[in-house]
Each structure stands twice: as C-alpha cells, then as structure tokens.
C-alpha cells in the first residue's frame, strides 16, 4: 500500500533526497511538498552568479514544474507550515491546507542572523539567503548608489562582488581582523582582502556596527568608533541559525538544530529532518556536501534500508567569485603537536599552507592556485603518511616521485576513490566509469549522470581533465576553446561576461575582456555582433561592417564574383504577380540563370554587384522582402499543401508554415535555420531532417528539431506532441529563442542540442510551461527591434552600404 510522505521545505537537500528515493523506491510513497517560497527547487549556492548577472534564475533551477508532474508529486508553492499535529499525523499551512502523513520530513533550512542594532528594521536593510533577497538587491542596485555589506565571510563577499558587478559602490565591514577567519588563516585572509579591494570594493576589518541610521529608510551606518558610512542599502551576511521553530512547537527535541540520529530520525520515529535545520552528532551544517549526504541517508531509510547512516567528513570551502581562487579544508589552527609547510609566491599572488600532525595532512589552505586541492583532500581523508614526500609535498601531486608531471598525468595518478566533486561526493572512479559505460562525451552528460560539477562548478576543470584522459583525442571541449586568436576566452565565457558586465558595444567588449588585437578579426567580430544583437535588442545598433559580405549586400556571392538573389516566398507559396515581377527583373538585368531551390524559393543567379540595389528596388515594389538565403537566421519554412488540398492531409500545414515564417522572419540566430511543416506522416515537406520540423497528425502537431541534411546527415529528435496550432507556434518560437540565447556563433542547432542535451531542452520547453513562456516573450520583444534590411528599404541617394532604421516586424499572428 502506498504511504503518504509529506515534506516541509523544497531546498537542495530534500530535492536530492527525492532523487535518491525515486530511484530506490519509486512507487512506495505518494509525495506532497510544502514550500514557503513561491517557486520550484533551485541551486541556492549559485545565487551569487545570479546576483552578479552571470546567470539567470532559470539556469539554476534544479527541478522545474515538469519534474514534479512527471513523478506525480504535489507541490504547494508559497505555503508556510504553521502547525504539526503529531497525534493526528497532519500538518497545516498558513493558507489553511491540512495534509495527513505517514512519514514526515522537516527540511526548513536556516534563517539569517540579524544584528540587534538600532535601525535593523529600516527599509533598505536586507539579508542574503534566497531568491527574494537577490531580487531585492538587484532592484536596489539599479540606483548605482552606495551599499554596505556587514560580514566578511563567504556570503558577505559573494554579495559584495555581485553588487559591485551591478554598479554599486560597495563597502564590506568585518568585525574580525581578517576576512573569512573561520576558513582561512591570516595570511590567506590578507591576500583575499587585497584581491577584493583590487575589484574596487572597500574593506574595513575590526569594524563593529553600532547602528543603521536613516529617516524612513537607510541613509548610512554608524560604527562603534563613531565613523559614519553613507549607504542606501545594507546587507547583513553575518551568519545563519537552524530554523527549528516548527519542530520545537510540535514537541520534537531541538538543541542548536532539530536533533536527529545518524539515520536522520528525530525524537518522533515517523518524522525525519535534514539539511541546515538538522543537528546530527552534535553538529549543524551549512555546506552542500554534508546536506547531500543527509539526503542520501534519509532516502535510504525511507526506502527501508535501516543500515544507512550519516558519517561526518570535512568539506572544502570555496569562494564563488569569478577570478578569486581559494580552497580551505580541515584544521589549520596552531598547536604544539603540529607543523606546517608554507609556500609563498608574492609575484604570482600564490599562498599555500599545509598543516601536519604525525606526518599526516590535517589542514590545507590554498590561495591563487588550487588545482591540488582534491589531492590534498585525498591525503587527509586516507590519513596517508607523507614522510617520503615531505620535501616536495607543498609543490603538489605533479612533483611527487622525481621529475614534474604534466597536469594530465597528475590527474591520472589520482586513485579511483579520490574525491573530485566535494559538493556531491563524487569520486574519480564514478566519473570515469560513467564515461566509459554510458558512452558520455560531453560535460553536460557527465553532470547529468554523476552530478559532478553540477553544483558550485569549481571542480569543472578536473572533470574536463578526466574526460580528456578517458576519451583521449575523441574529447573535444569546445566550451574552453578560444573564439579566435584575438582572445583566450571561449564563446560561452564571452556571452556570459557580456551579460554580467553589461557590455553593449564591440569596442567595450574588447576593452573590458582584454582583447589581444585592436579591432578583432573576421571570426570574432561577427560573433560579437550577433551576441550583442541577441542580448541587447533594444539598445545595440547592428554593426553591418561586422557582418559577412553576403549579409551586407543581401545576396550570396558566387565563385565568379556575381551574386544570387532569393526573394522570400512565405511558406513556398507564390502568385502570378510575384512571378511576373521576377520575370521582369530577370529580363531587365539579363540574369543568366533562374533556379528553384530546395527550400521552395526562386533563386536568380549571376547578378552584378552594382545591379543589386536596383534589383532589390524592383522586387520591393512587387512586395518582396529578402529571403535571407545568406543569413545566420531563419531562411525558409518548407511546406506541403496540407489538408486544404491533399487527401491525406490532417492539418493546414501550408497555413502553419506561413504563420511561422511571418512571425519569425528577420530574426538572427547563431547559424542558419531551416524549417518545414508536413501535413501528414508521409512527410512530403521533409520535416524530419530540418533544424525545426512539424509533422501534422490527427491528434495535433508533432514538433521535431535538431536534424541535418548537409555535411552531416541526421534525423530529427522528437521534442513532443502538442494539440493546438497556437501551442505549436509558441513551442517553436521558444525553442528558437533558447537556441538564440545559448548557441555559440556558427553552431547549428543539432550541435547545440547535442551539447545541451535533448532531455534538458525538452524539460525547459515542454515540461516547464512558465519558462517556455519567458523564452517566447523574449523572442517577441527582440522582434520589435529586428532590422531586416532588404535593399528596398535603403535611403534613396545615400551610399549603397548605408541602411536606415527599418519598420518594426509585425508580431501579431496572421
């Protein structure tokens, strides 16, 4: 008989617990979740990149709405639990919903500590714990005014870095003499402060807050020594406390946290607790790795494994601020029974310290160069006697056993049980085994199957080295290949930094991202131009000089130096007036060849460059616009005659094809985009080898994507079936926008889909309906500013290479 499992809280720990439980006992429980936040489960440790602008919230969602639907889980969003009735075995939310349970899991997390100083309740005083806090900080940052962050720990520094990236003048106040004193020794704390200040963030240590001042809202902060610091925003990041209130009210044993045994059971055997609210073995935890270990144990116990138990292990500390590398693990306090090994390289900004006891590593602090963190962690965990490598230990794994090893050899030398991903507890052997057994070829595949590098991402480099080691030459990490000789950055980094830093011109990108050349090259300029057009459609003016010659003249150059022109025929449909206009142009300009294309258009070849403006002028008078046969954008939507004419047709494929094309034309994409709509499964429009295709069936519209019929031959992937034409249009538009935002320049959609993962695309476009709607709306917004630039729209009398702003593309559905 199915048992009722109710979960209070929907953070990372209960989310991971459910993943394990659904794998071990998928049919044992009917699951209901109450989440105080009005949203799905997301990766809290990645809030800092959201604050800095490096990521959007959608990119850190762990389980979208579709995941809960797929697994039959009921999720109450925005419901705070106000009572647990242990006798009746029910819980009640603040919205009046009462739910019975057989097993209850409390995962209420923690609450931020608020310094009890005057002014703490003024508007403009925020904490830093969840997405609402981040959104409030982003709103405050629009003022570009002054912010004070109280707390020089992990959260405080990440908040300060994010607010600085958003344009605020930021000061960090820390009561202790050095930053992150719980994780770093004074030397590393000094280096960290220097790096933070180099970013333009002011740091004041030994700073004790006396009061927050202001009339009606925050205006400043007063220190104990009388110093006044002006501020319009104060962020308190001084620590957290387990959220035990609901358990305590229910009579469950609590101490610092909700007291649980090593099986995560509370004093009530039918109630478990895990995450930041739980206290196990006298300790409470705030880092993700032990929380995920709690999740594993709780899932095992719920599945019937009474032997599962939580075991404490030290977890490395890492700071999620781009460009600052630090690693801290274990016990590095001074003591008479300890010795230390220290390496300093002042010029390179490197500091390394190992704390030893009885010839075994018990603590590690690395700053500036952290690549050996996993190896030092492995030595500590296994209590390895380091006597034989004492003299070279501080130089890292590569220097053991004589001559230095290259980094790949050092990774190869790691034992299979060496931990690579601290957040998720993933060892080397699990990663290499998954790569070999499951045929994984991309970083996203490895993340999906092992969780390695799927949380904070700091182990990504090690994971990629393992992939290269395991796959050899067949591994091609495109993501880390430079765009061109002008930069060391890859396409993904450039796109991320354009958004994070708010870069809105090509010169600004090149300056801020330290381009090696003065003006770029033929590889990077078109890519940058596309990224800026896509990211800032309402602010960036398309730079035609950064486009290829075909895009500048709206025609395809041929091998003899002449050009071909392809006017647009919506859905492959034409009429007598259009055909007469084409015939007149062919006669007037003595065009030597007229050919029907594979995309159901007419191509006129052999046109002289000097005739192009006049050709387009005559075609424009007949109502033609460019077919974009040269474009990195939507080219054609091929159709069959569909249900209007064909006895096999199930839907109006011609009408849908025309509707899609009129809705989407003029939109730039990373590479050319070809579509097709077939009116029945006989597939006369060849939709199953296109970038996006539709097969009309009796029950609706089957959406396909990621096909290829050029140098690579590949059938499409099935995205899914939708019932209505409006929904088909929305899905196709959202899919295209997702590709526009995530694709690398010149990366065809089938290559993008392989890199991102078909399942992930399906999750975001089909399963997560709100997210699909957001993609759709962003496409519609960008189309308002689409510049389609046919020659017929040029300003008369001006140079033929100058364009005027063009009419807005009509968005309304036909």
Q: How confident is the model at residue 789 (pLDDT cuts 50, 70, 90)?
A: very low
pLDDT at 501: 85
Question: In the predicted model, is pLDDT for residue 136 greater than 70?
Answer: yes
Give the Cα separation of 243 and 80 in Å (integer). Answer: 13
Question: How much is the pLDDT for 131?
Answer: 92
pLDDT score of 676: 96
Mean pLDDT across the stretch 31-49?
92
User: In whole angstroms, what is the distance from residue 333 CA to residue 76 CA?
Assistant: 46
pLDDT at position 795, please? 28
What span, in angstroms and rounded, lies between the C-alpha atoms of 652 and 645? 9
For residue 805, pLDDT over 60 is answered with no
Q: What is the pLDDT of residue 464?
A: 83
Examine the pLDDT at 99 and tell me if it is beyond 80. yes
Question: Residue 330 — pLDDT band, cuts 50, 70, 90?
Answer: confident
Under the banding of pLDDT at 50, 70 and 90, the label for residue 794 is very low
Question: Average pLDDT of 613-637?
Answer: 90
Predicted confidence at residue 807, as pLDDT, reads 28
pLDDT greater than 50 at residue 33: yes
- 296-325 pLDDT, tens digit per residue, is 999 999 999 999 999 888 878 877 676 678
pLDDT in tens, 536-591: 988 888 887 788 888 888 899 998 889 999 999 999 999 999 999 999 999 999 99
Query: 217, exposed or middle or buried, with CB in 10 Å at 0-12, 13-18, 19+?
Result: exposed
Least confident of 2-16, 444-458, 558-572: 444-458
Using pLDDT thresholds of 50, 70 and 90, give the confidence band for residue 326. Answer: confident
3-class secondary structure, 63? strand
Domains of the chain as residue ranges with CATH: 3-110+242-302 (3.50.50.60), 125-238 (3.50.50.60), 491-547 (no CATH), 634-783 (3.30.413.10)
What's the mean pLDDT in 69-85?
A: 94
pLDDT value for 554: 85
How many Å apart are CA 432 and CA 462, to the nearest integer?
12
Q: Given a cut of 80, is residue 266 above it in pLDDT? A: yes
For 68, phi then psi, to 5°, come to -65, -40
Q: How far apart are CA 261 and CA 282, in angstroms?
A: 10
Asked if 277 and 244 count as a contact pair (C-beta separation under 8 A), the reply is: yes
Binding residues for siroheme: 684
**pLDDT band for position 809 (50/70/90)?**
very low
**10 Å Cβ neighbour count for 808?**
13
Sign, CA dihedral 289-293-295-296, equals: positive
Q: Which residue has the higher pLDDT, 713 or 460?
A: 713
287 pLDDT band, cuts 50/70/90, is confident
**Average pLDDT of the residues in 170-190:** 90
Antiparallel, parallel or unpaired: β 233-236 and 146-150: parallel
Report yes or no: 293 and 311 within 8 Å, Cβ to Cβ. Answer: yes
Q: What is the DSSP letter of 766?
A: I
Least confident residue range of 306-315, 317-326, 446-455, 518-527: 317-326
Q: What is the mean pLDDT of residues 767-778?
A: 90
pLDDT over 60 at 497, yes or no: yes
Average pLDDT value for the chain: 88
Least confident of 117-126, 202-211, 310-319, 730-739: 310-319
Burial of 120 (0-12, 13-18, 19+ CB in 10 A): middle
In whole angstroms, how far apart are CA 533 and each of 499, 542, 641, 663, 730?
A: 12, 6, 35, 18, 22
Q: How confident is the model at residue 409 (pLDDT cuts 50, 70, 90)?
A: low
Start-to-end C-alpha separation, the chain: 53
782, with CB counted inside 10 A (0-12, 13-18, 19+), is buried
The region of weakest confidence among 115-124, 374-383, 479-488 is 479-488
Residue predicted with more confidence, 274 or 554: 274
> What is the torsion angle, in degrees rounded to the nearest 10, for the CA atoms of residue 526, residue 530, residue 533 and residue 536?
-110
DSSP state of 315: -
For the chain, how many helices (H) and strands (E)? 24, 40
HSE, side-chain direction, 13 A CA sphere, residue 790: 25
Q: At what angle do helices 612-621 and 576-588 cross, to 10 degrees?
A: 160
Examine the pLDDT at 450 and tell me if it is beyond 80: yes
Of the ranges 285-294, 358-367, 462-471, which one carries the lowest mean pLDDT score?
Answer: 462-471
Summarize the confidence of residues 176-203 as an average pLDDT.
89
Helix (H, G, I), strand (E, B) or coil at 585: helix
Nearest to 661 by CA among 599, 579, 720: 599
| Percentage of residues of the chain with pLDDT beyond 90 | 56
Neighbours of 623 (CB within 10 A): 13
> Are the CB atoms for 640 and 654 separated by under 8 Å?
yes
- Residues annotated as binding site? 640, 646, 680, 684
Least confident of 3-17, 203-217, 417-431: 417-431
Mean pLDDT on 399-406: 56
**What pLDDT band is residue 481 in, cutting at 50, 70 and 90?**
confident
Mean pLDDT, to the nearest integer, of 444-462?
79
- Polymer length of the chain: 814
Q: Which residue has the tokens 């295709």?
A: 693
pLDDT value for 793: 38
Going by the annotation, the residues of the binding site for [4Fe-4S] cluster are: 640, 646, 680, 684
Residue 470 has pLDDT above 80, yes or no: yes
Cα-flanking dihedrals φ and ψ of residue 447, to 5°? Answer: -60, -45
The pLDDT of residue 661 is 93
Residue 809 sits at φ, ψ, to 5 deg, of -65, 135
Contact 193, 178 (CB under 8 A): yes
């Amino acid at each position: 008989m199915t048992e009722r499992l109710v979960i209070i809280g929907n953070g990372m720990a209960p989310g991971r617990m459910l993943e394990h439980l659904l794998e071990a006992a998928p049919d044992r429980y009917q699951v209901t979740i109450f989440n105080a936040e009005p949203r799905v489960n997301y990766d809290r440790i990645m809030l800092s990149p959201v604050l800095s602008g490096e990521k959007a919230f959608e990119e850190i969602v762990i389980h979208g709405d579709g995941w809960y639907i797929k697994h039959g889980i009921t999720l109450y969003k925005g419901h705070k639990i106000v009572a647990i009735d242990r006798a009746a075995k029910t819980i009640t939310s603040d919205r009046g919903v009462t739910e019975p349970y057989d097993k209850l899991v409390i995962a209420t997390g923690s609450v931020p500590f608020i310094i009890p100083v005057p002014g703490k309740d003024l508007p403009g005083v925020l904490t830093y714990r969840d997405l609402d806090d981040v959104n409030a900080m982003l709103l405050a940052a629009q003022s570009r005014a002054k912010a004070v962050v109280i707390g020089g720990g992990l959260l405080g520094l990440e908040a300060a870095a994010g607010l600085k990236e958003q344009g605020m003048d930021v000061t960090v106040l820390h009561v202790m003499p050095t930053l992150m004193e719980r994780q770093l020794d004074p030397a590393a704390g000094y280096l960290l402060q220097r790096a933070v200040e180099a970013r333009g963030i002011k740091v004041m240590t030994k700073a004790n807050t006396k009061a927050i001042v202001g009339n009606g809202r925050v205006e400043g902060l007063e220190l104990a020594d009388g110093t006044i610091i002006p501020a319009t925003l104060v962020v308190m990041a001084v620590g957290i406390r387990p959220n035990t209130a609901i358990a305590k009210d229910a009579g469950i044993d609590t101490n610092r946290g909700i007291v649980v045994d090593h099986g995560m059971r509370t004093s009530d055997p039918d109630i478990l607790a895990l995450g930041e609210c739980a206290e196990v073995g006298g300790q409470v935890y705030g880092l993700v790795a032990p929380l995920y270990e709690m999740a594993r144990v709780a899932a095992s116990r719920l599945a019937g494994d009474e032997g599962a138990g939580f075991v404490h292990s030290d977890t490395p500390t890492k700071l999620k601020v781009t460009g600052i590398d630090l690693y801290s693990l274990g016990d590095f306090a001074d003591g008479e029974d300890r010795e230390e090994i220290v390496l300093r390289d002042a010029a390179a900004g490197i500091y390394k310290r190992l704390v030893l006891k009885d010839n075994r590593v018990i603590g590690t602090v690395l700053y500036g160069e952290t690549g050996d963190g996993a190896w030092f962690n492995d030595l500590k965990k296994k209590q390895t006697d380091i006597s034989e490598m004492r003299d070279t230990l501080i130089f890292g794994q590569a220097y053991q056993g004589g001559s230095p090893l290259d980094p790949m050899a050092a990774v190869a030398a790691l034992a299979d049980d060496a931990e690579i991903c601290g957040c998720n507890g993933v060892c080397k052997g699990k990663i290499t085994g998954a790569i070999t057994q499951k045929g994984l070829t991309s970083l996203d595949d490895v993340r999906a199957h092992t969780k390695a590098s799927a949380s904070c991402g700091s182990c990504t480099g090690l994971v990629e080295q393992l992939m290269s080691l395991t796959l050899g030459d067949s591994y091609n990490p495109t993501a880390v290949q430079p765009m061109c000789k002008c930069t060391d950055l890859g396409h993904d980094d450039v796109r991320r930094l354009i958004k994070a830093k708010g870069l809105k011109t090509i010169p600004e990108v090149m300056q801020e991202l330290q381009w090696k050349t003065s003006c770029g090259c033929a590889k990077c300029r078109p890519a940058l131009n596309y990224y800026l057009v896509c990211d800032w459609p309402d602010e960036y003016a398309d730079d035609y000089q950064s486009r290829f010659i075909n895009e500048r003249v709206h025609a395809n150059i041929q091998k003899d130096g002449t050009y071909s022109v392809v006017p647009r025929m919506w859905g492959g449909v034409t009429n007598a007036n259009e055909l007469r206009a084409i015939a007149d142009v062919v006669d007037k300009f003595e065009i030597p060849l007229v050919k029907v294309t594979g995309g159901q258009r007419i191509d006129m070849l052999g046109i002289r460059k000097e005739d192009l403006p006049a050709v387009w002028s005559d075609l424009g008078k007949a109502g033609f616009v460019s077919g974009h046969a040269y474009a990195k954008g939507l080219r054609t939507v091929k159709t069959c005659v569909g249900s209007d004419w064909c006895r096999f047709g199930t839907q109006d494929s011609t009408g849908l094809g025309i509707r899609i094309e009129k809705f989407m034309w003029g939109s730039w994409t990373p590479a050319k985009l070809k579509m097709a709509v077939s009116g029945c499964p006989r597939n006369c429009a060849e939709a199953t080898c296109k970038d996006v295709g539709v097969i009309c069936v009796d029950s609706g519209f089957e959406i396909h994507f990621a096909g290829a019929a050029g140098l690579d031959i590949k059938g499409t992937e099935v995205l899914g079936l939708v019932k209505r034409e409006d929904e088909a249009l929305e899905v196709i538009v959202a899919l295209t926008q997702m590709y526009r935002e995530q694709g690398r320049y010149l990366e065809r959609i089938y290559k993008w889909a392989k890199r991102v993962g078909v399942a992930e695309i399906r999750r975001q476009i089909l399963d997560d309906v709100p997210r699909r709607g957001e993609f759709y709306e962003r496409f519609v917004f960008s189309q308002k500013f689409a510049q389609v630039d046919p020659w017929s729209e040029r300003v008369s009398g001006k140079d033929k290479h100058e364009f005027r702003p063009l009419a807005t593309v009509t968005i309304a559905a036909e």
